[in-house]
């Protein structure tokens, strides 16, 4: 029995197809099939059921799969341990981010580029998704670290995070909107005033949308969502065109004016849009991911740009911070 045979077996199971597995392994399909056949002959049991459209495991294959994965993980840990002693970092880090996270408030691209320069043997994969799905991916081990929007005061069980953006949510409208006439000279508007208005919001699964829906439910009504967009600039354009009230993180006065918008902070209750660096509470599995997490925790700003970074990557639930200084483009998908 060889480790490569176990690797081929696990890959075929994950892909449920010999051709896709061979492509992923950069091998020919007959070569992968031959090695798995040899493994089955050695074990004296068929491990894969090839009779259907998709390849599935037999009962023996399911039992072997657990041990095969454990053996491959143990070998990877040995390699990583040796690499740590030699000062060489290898492996793969999977990073998730909300839409708009690559803004000047935290230049994620530059941070990742610096990390890659320091550790060229580490492969970094980057995926953009909703906060809800990224939280599930973190808990399931499909992501190592992510920038997410927080819908709740605290993250789910098993997730720790460091807040990097904390901004009040505002109602953004065109200058002639009835909301302004109903509240002349006001800089704030009660949430209840949005009950019957068409709202322009981020999609479901995002942090800001979760905050809005929860607050409306507590106030006894469902928000009337007229338009959805995943980019905050598009929400602003829709509102400036008079199509409804955009619920967005606070805009600087000059940016709101340039976009043709008037904004009022939502009160009763006050709502917040927060973005946080998140990871599994027990920490990422590999040394490369742990190293990147530590670097991001040190480099990413805290709300308002004040305060020392937390001590280590294994601790720290969500910590609400003061408002101000946050880049509205990144606050809250």
The sign of the CA dihedral 118, 121, 122, 128 is: positive
Residue pointed to by tokens 């993180």: 249
Q: How far is CA 9 from CA 6, 34, 50, 79, 176, in A?
A: 5, 11, 13, 21, 65
Q: Last residue of some domain: 85, 106, 137? A: 85
* 328 three-class SS: helix
Given a contact cutoff of 8 angstroms between Cβ atoms, the answer to whether 95 and 112 are in contact is yes
Find the CATH number of the domain harbouring 53.
Answer: 1.10.10.10
Residue that finishes a domain, picked among 27, 62, 85: 85
- Measure Cα distances from 168 to 64, 237, 331 in Å: 52, 20, 9
Cβ pair 332, 206 in contact under 8 A = yes
CB 61 within 8 A of CB 92: no
Q: Give the DSSP H/E element, type plus range, for residue 189.
A: strand 188-190
Res 279: pLDDT: 96
Same domain, 277 and 206: yes
Between 155 and 102, the more confident residue is 155
Q: What distances in angstroms separate CA 44 from CA 15, 47, 222, one per listed residue?
A: 24, 9, 61
Residue 1 has pLDDT above 50, yes or no: yes
pLDDT digits (tens, 9 = 90+) for 62-98: 999 999 988 988 887 787 677 665 556 778 899 999 8
Q: Is the pLDDT of residue 53 over 60?
A: yes
Give Cα 124 distance to the centre of its chain. Answer: 14
pLDDT at 185 over 80: yes
pLDDT score of 76: 77
Together in a domain, 161 and 263 = yes
CATH number at residue 288: 3.40.190.290
Cβ proximity of 316 and 160 under 8 Å: yes
Say what the pLDDT of residue 320 is.
Answer: 32
Q: Are residues 125 and 199 in the same domain?
A: yes
- What is the C-alpha to C-alpha distance for residues 242 and 235, in angstroms, rounded to an integer? 11
Phi, psi of 313, rounded to the nearest 5 degrees: -75, -5
Does 107 share its domain with 242?
yes
> What is the H or E stretch that residue 276 is in?
strand 272-280
CA quadruple 146, 151, 152, 158: dihedral sign: negative
Backbone angles phi, psi at 74, to 5 degrees: -65, -40
For residues 42 and 174, state if they share a domain: no
Can you tell me the mean pLDDT for 238-248? 96
Tell how strand 188-190 and strand 91-97 pair up: unpaired
Q: Which of 85, 111, 145 is the last residue of a domain?
A: 85
Residues 110 and 181 in one domain: yes
254-276 pLDDT, tens per residue? 888 888 999 999 999 999 999 99
pLDDT band with cut points at 50, 70 and 90 for residue 318: very low
**Same structural domain for residues 35 and 120?**
no
Helix (H) or strand (E) holding 21: helix 18-25
208 and 76 assigned to the same domain: no
* pLDDT value of residue 57: 93
Q: Which residue has the tokens 């709502």?
A: 271
Kindly give, in sequence order, each residue whose CB lies less than 8 Å from that of residue 104, ignoring residues fewer than 6 positions away.
Answer: 327
Number of domains in the chain: 2
- Answer whether 133's CB lies under 8 Å from 333's CB: no
Residues 10 and 36 in one domain: yes
Residues 22 and 118 in one domain: no
Asked if 80 and 100 sit in the same domain, the reply is no
Q: How far apart are CA 93 and CA 226, in angstroms?
A: 38
* Residue 296 in this model has a pLDDT that exceeds 50: yes
247 and 142: one domain? yes
State pTM to two decimals.
0.65
- Report the pLDDT averaged over residues 196-201: 96
Range of the domain at 57: 3-85
For residue 292, whether the previous peptide bond is cis, meaning omega lies within 30 degrees of 0, is no
Q: What pLDDT sits at residue 311?
A: 34
pLDDT reading at 314 higher than 60? no
pLDDT of residue 301: 77
């Amino acid at each position: 029995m060889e480790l490569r045979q176990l690797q081929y077996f696990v890959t075929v199971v994950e892909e449920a197809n010999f051709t896709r597995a061979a492509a992923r392994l950069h091998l020919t399909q007959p070569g992968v099939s031959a090695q798995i056949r040899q493994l089955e002959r050695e074990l004296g049991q068929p491990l894969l059921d090839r009779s259907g459209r998709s390849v599935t495991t037999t009962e023996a294959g399911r039992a072997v799969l657990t041990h095969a994965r454990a053996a491959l993980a143990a070998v990877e840990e040995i390699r990583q341990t040796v690499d740590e002693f030699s000062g060489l970092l290898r492996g793969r880090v999977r990073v998730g981010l909300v839409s708009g996270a690559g803004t000047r408030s935290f230049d994620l691209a530059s941070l990742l580029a610096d990390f890659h320069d320091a550790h060229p043997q580490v492969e970094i994969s980057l995926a953009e998704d909703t906060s809800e799905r990224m939280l599930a991916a973190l808990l399931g081990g499909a992501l190592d670290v992510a920038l997410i929007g927080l819908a709740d005061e605290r993250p789910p069980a098993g997730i720790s995070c460091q807040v990097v953006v904390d901004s009040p949510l505002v109602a953004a409208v065109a200058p002639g909107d009835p909301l302004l006439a109903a509240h002349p000279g006001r800089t704030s508007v009660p949430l209840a005033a949005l009950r019957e208005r068409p709202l322009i919001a981020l999609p479901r699964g995002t942090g800001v949308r979760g905050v809005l829906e929860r607050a409306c439910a507590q106030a006894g009504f469902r928000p009337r969502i007229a338009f959805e967009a995943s980019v905050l600039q598009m929400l602003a354009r829709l509102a400036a065109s008079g199509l409804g009230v955009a619920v967005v993180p606070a805009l600087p006065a000059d940016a709101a004016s340039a976009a043709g918008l008037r904004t009022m902070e939502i009160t009763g209750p006050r709502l917040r849009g927060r973005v946080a660096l998140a990871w599994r509470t027990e920490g990422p599995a590999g040394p490369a991911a742990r190293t990147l997490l530590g670097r991001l925790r040190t480099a990413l700003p805290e709300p308002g740009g004040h305060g020392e970074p937390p001590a280590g990557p294994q601790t720290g639930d969500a910590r609400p911070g003061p408002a101000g200084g946050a880049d509205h483009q990144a606050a809250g998908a």
